[in-house]
Amino acid sequence: MNEREILTDSINAHQKAIDEAKCKLNDLEVTYSIGDRFKCGDDKCILALAQGSQHNPLVIMVTLVNGIRHNDPKTVYDINKITSSELSEICNCTPTRYWDNRKKVRI
């Protein structure tokens, strides 16, 4: 192997490691799902599926006490992996999750 081939192999190995690290980092992103519960100011709320189809799900944040929604329904990519940016569009406040529906645990 000449020096050029050695360097090319090294670059390829490093790029592969970088790509794997990016995938792991994406998996660590905090996501939310339908059924998660939040404290939003003094209210306790739940993420609920409003309507839509499998390819165009609409999600709302609903107050548990009176059923009033916080906003108009918003489209999300995946109801089981709602991103922080999608959540900020769904809710008018900065919610704090206290129930993770996927893990079935109080946070």
**Model pLDDT for residues 29-61, shown as the tens digit of each residue:** 788 999 999 998 888 998 988 876 677 889 999
Do 23 and 47 belong to one domain? no
Domain that holds residue 9: 1-29
Cα(47)–Cα(64) distance, rounded to whole angstroms? Answer: 10
Cα(23)–Cα(21) distance, rounded to whole angstroms? Answer: 5
Cβ burial of 10 (10 Å; 0-12, 13-18, 19+) is exposed
Burial letters 58-75, b for 16+ CB under 10 A, else e: bbbbbbeeeeeebeebbe
For a pLDDT cut of 70, what percent of the chain falls above it?
95
Do 73 and 50 belong to one domain? yes
pTM of the model: 0.68
Cα(30)–Cα(7) distance, rounded to whole angstroms? Answer: 37
How many domains does the chain contain in total?
Answer: 2
- For residues 3-27, give the mean pLDDT: 85
- For residues 24-31, give the mean pLDDT: 77
**Model pLDDT for residues 86-99, shown as the tens digit of each residue:** 998 888 778 888 88
